[in-house]
Copies of this chain bind each other. A is one copy, B any other.
Amino acid sequence: MKDKIDIKFIAGKAQVSPATVSRVLNKSKAVSPELKSRVLSMIEKYDYRPNEMARGLIFQKSNLIGIITPRVANAFNAELISQIEKRANQAHYDVIISNISGNFENEKKAFRIMHDRRVDGIILLHENTPEEMAELQRISDIPIVLASVRVEGSSLPNVSIDDERAAYEATRYLIQLRHMKIAGVFSDSYSAGNLRKKGFLDCLSAQNIAPFALFIGECTFHGGAVIAERILALQEKPTAVFFISDEMAIGAINYFQDHRVRVPEDISVFSFDDIELASYVRPRLSTVHQPVREIGQYATEMLLALIEKRPLYQPQQILPHHVIIRDSCAALEN
């Protein structure tokens, strides 16, 4: 029966008190070189490493950051998570993820679980109503930061682009191409979907154009294909479609192509996010570029500041976006 290697064990082997071992480890106070080397060699010999749960208990700190998102496997989210993890690691935090499915109840549950673990902070990658956000905050006073999302009417710190403006610009671009029959495809609880929808609608109404059709779908390739099917089933078809995410757009384009509808010749497609893939499909996607790396890293930065109670000079960070013109949109003959 192997005995477990804890601080007491090491202390015993080095013939010192546990306190001394701790002091050697944390360099908190002077220890005579003699004892120090005894301790160090025993630590080395038994490859002793302090139990983080025990330390967490004392310090009231888990060094854990929680990420909550409705879809880990989404390309944009996955990249965001990757960036967050990277930055968090540098600061000696680990990342724990929660893939919530569907309703807000599940999200609350996930939130509670993270609270139970005494996660030091949480990053949210998706949208909620201001009321829901407030409810989450009521559960626990763990710092929260939104990444790639902004919720109107909520004062939560966030890092994102100006989704509304970006959607406005994208839509204006479609109108400049002389499109009048423009459909919009959105999704519940994906990034800052409501703002994108708002920008889309505002731009149309500013030009006195009525939205040709509005759809709500799942933010996946398949979800995009489903919408495409519904679009092709329409008696009169739109000449352009604005998608809330690249993944949906790609799924839809595939469906179009399968049914002999050419993109962009027959129908133009504009989307959002600019995931790496966007420039690797045919036609290459015209889309709104989000600076994922910066969003992820900055959001983490912000959360760390919040955790360490450093002041937040700019709790609502808007990073620059770019409307990227590639090949998925064509101008309409007049």
Contacts and interface: CB of A to CB of B under 8 A. Distances in A.
Contacts of A115: 49
B112 A49 contact: yes
A220 B276 contact: yes
Nearest to A254: B280
Contact of A94 (B57, B86, B117): B117
A51 B116 CA distance: 5
Contacts of A47: 139
Interface string A86-115: 100100001111110000000000001101
Contact of A116 (B50, B254, B282): B50
A115 B48 CA distance: 11
A150 B86 CA distance: 27
Interface in A254-297: 254, 257, 276-277, 279-282
Contact of A277 (B53, B112, B221): B221
Provide the main secondary structure of the chain A interface: helix
B99 A96 contact: no
Interface stretch (A20-28, A73-81, A161-169, A199-207): A73-81
B85 A79 contact: no
Given A72-B85, A85-B72, A280-B251, A97 B99 contact: no
A126 interface: no
A75 B74 CA distance: 8
Nearest to A292: B73
Interface string A225-264: 1000000000000000000000000110010010000000
A56 interface: yes
Contacts of A51: 57, 116, 118
A135 interface: no
A85 B97 contact: yes
A113 B51 CA distance: 10
Interface residues of A, number: 50
A64 B52 CA distance: 13
Contacts of A75: 73, 75, 78
B98 A96 contact: no
Interface string A149-174: 00000000000000000000000000
A52 B118 contact: yes
A54 interface: yes
Given A72-B85, A73-B79, A117 B52 contact: yes
14 contacts: A47-B139, A49-B116, A51-B116, A53-B118, A73-B78, A73-B82, A74-B78, A78-B78, A89-B98, A95-B96, A96-B97, A221-B277, A222-B276, A254-B281
Given A72-B82, A89-B99, A221-B276, 14 more contacts: A51-B118, A53-B56, A53-B62, A71-B82, A73-B75, A73-B81, A75-B75, A81-B97, A94-B98, A94-B117, A251-B280, A257-B282, A280-B281, A281-B281
Interface of A: 47, 49-54, 56-57, 62, 64, 71-75, 78-79, 81-82, 85-86, 89, 94-99, 112-113, 115-118, 139, 220-222, 225, 250-251, 254, 257, 276-277, 279-282
